[in-house]
């Protein structure tokens, strides 16, 4: 482990000199959508075995681990899933996490289906700072084809308004583009959210997990998405809000806001990857494309002290060498990987 002093928090760096700054907590592997690029129905059907409740980390266990992560330099936590809002009493977890001293940002990625105005307000009151809502089309028929559970787009658009009204800002939208499926959504998505104080981030379709039938031919490079939008509404590049930001940012020259491009396949950003990921059952995963994680649940359910867990995490991070996206093209296809709906992006 290499540790240096940055203000009062020791900074642990991995083998590629990347510090540990963000933690993504997946609170459930269940979801009420079956997005075709994430949880295809043929795999995640009625026979699929989701984790039993007893295997999920409890809110107390999650909060304890989160506190230890913050003591190691984490400043930003994002709740994700599966769909985080299907986990019961999530406000309680938000409340507990928001109290952690030293934590600067607490966000959530959600499909928005359960984000009613009341829910948005109660999450805000509990201490959630902001939300990212995933939405892959504004056309209702296309959106229903994407979520594959006949969920209407109106409800998600209302969730965006609910988030804005509740002050869960800045509100961002994640839009995954898959060639031949929803590339027709690029311009309508940009058109709808321009001037609405909401940033759409277009994400390249990724080869996460082993069930979504990913092929490189189905990826529309972020640069193409950018060109299409720029042709319609000229854009200019702007600086990242913070070092290591995964989205490249562009501003509409006519002042109607901005868009982001997350080109994880064509422009890997492994060198800036400062994220650790905690799965619902307490596995620590240091790369989105990992095959398995390190079992933290047995530590939190055993006799290990906070200091022992801290040492363990510090050691794990210091030995991290992940850079899958930089290697993608040279790797054997079909390597076992954790599903996106399990670890949460």
Q: Applying CB under 6 A, does 202 fall inside the site for ligand SF4?
A: no
Region binding ligand SF4 by CB under 6 A among candidate stretches 97-105, 237-245, 283-291, 301-309:
283-291
With contacts defined by CB under 6 A, name the span among 54-62, 252-260, 282-290, 329-337 that binds ligand SF4. 282-290
Question: Of 209, 210, 188, 218, which Cα lies nearest the Cα of 200?
Answer: 188
Q: Does 203 bind ligand SAM (CB under 6 A)?
A: yes
Torsion of CA 269, 143, 46, 61, to 10 degrees: 40
Q: Which does residue 206 touch among ligand SAM, ligand SF4, none (CB within 5 to 8 A, set by kind)?
A: ligand SAM
3-state secondary structure (DSSP) of residue 24: strand
The CA-based angle 243-325-260, given to 5 degrees, is 45
Residues between 162 and 181 that touch ligand SAM (CB under 6 A): 174, 176
Q: What are phi and psi of 231, to 5 degrees?
A: -65, -35
Residue with tokens 């839009």: 175
Contact 295, 307 (CB under 8 A): no
Cα Rg of the chain (Å, integer): 19
Q: Is 111 in the site for ligand SAM (CB under 6 A)?
A: yes
Token readout for 187 is 């311009």
Bridge pairing between strands 275-278 and 283-285: antiparallel
- Shortest CB 310 distance to ligand SF4, Å: 22
Contact 1, 313 (CB under 8 A): no
The residues in 212-271 that bind ligand SF4, with binding defined as CB under 6 A, are 268-270
Scan residues 261-300 and list those touching ligand SAM (CB under 6 A). none
Instruction: Restricting to residues 2-41, name those near ligand SAM by CB under 6 A.
Output: 31, 37-38
List contacts with ligand SAM (CB under 6 A): 31, 37-38, 80-81, 83, 109-111, 134, 174, 176, 203, 205-206, 208, 212, 340-341, 344-345
List contacts with ligand SF4 (CB under 6 A): 31, 33-35, 38-39, 81-83, 111, 134, 268-270, 273, 287-289, 322-325, 341
């Amino acid at each position: 482990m290499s540790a240096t002093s940055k203000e009062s928090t020791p900074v642990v760096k991995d083998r590629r000199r990347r510090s540990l700054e963000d933690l993504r907590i997946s609170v459930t592997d269940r979801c009420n959508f079956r997005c075709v690029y994430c949880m295809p129905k043929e795999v995640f059907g009625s026979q699929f075995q989701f984790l039993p409740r007893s295997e999920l980390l409890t809110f107390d266990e999650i909060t304890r681990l989160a506190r230890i992560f913050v003591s190691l330099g984490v400043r930003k936590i994002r709740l994700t899933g599966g769909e985080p809002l299907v986990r019961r009493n999530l406000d309680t977890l938000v409340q507990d996490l928001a109290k952690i001293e030293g934590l600067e940002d607490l966000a959530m990625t959600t499909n928005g289906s359960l984000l009613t105005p009341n829910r948005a307000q109660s999450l805000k009151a509990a201490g959630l700072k902001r939300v990212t809502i995933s939405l892959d089309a504004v056309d209702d028929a296309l959106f229903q084809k994407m979520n594959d559970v006949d969920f209407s787009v109106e409800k998600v658009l209302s969730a965006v308004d609910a988030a804005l009204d509740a002050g869960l800002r800045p509100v961002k939208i994640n839009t995954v583009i898959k060639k031949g499926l929803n590339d027709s959504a690029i311009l309508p998505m940009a058109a709808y959210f321009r001037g609405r104080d909401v940033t759409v981030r277009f994400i390249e379709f990724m080869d996460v997990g082993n069930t979504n039938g990913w092929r490189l031919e189905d990826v529309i490079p972020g640069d193409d998405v950018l060109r299409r939008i720029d042709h319609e509404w000229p854009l200019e590049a702007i600086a990242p809000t913070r070092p290591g930001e995964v989205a490249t940012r562009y501003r509409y020259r006519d002042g109607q806001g901005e868009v982001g491009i997350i080109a994880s396949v064509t422009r890997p950003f492994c060198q800036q990857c400062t994220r650790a990921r905690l799965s619902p059952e307490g596995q620590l995963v240091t790369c989105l494309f990992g095959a398995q994680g390190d079992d933290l649940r047995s530590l939190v359910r055993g006799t290990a002290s906070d200091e022992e867990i801290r040492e363990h995490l510090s050691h794990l991070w210091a030995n991290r060498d992940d850079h899958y996206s930089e290697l993608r093209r040279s790797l054997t296809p079909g390597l076992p990987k954790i599903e996106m709906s399990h670890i949460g992006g």
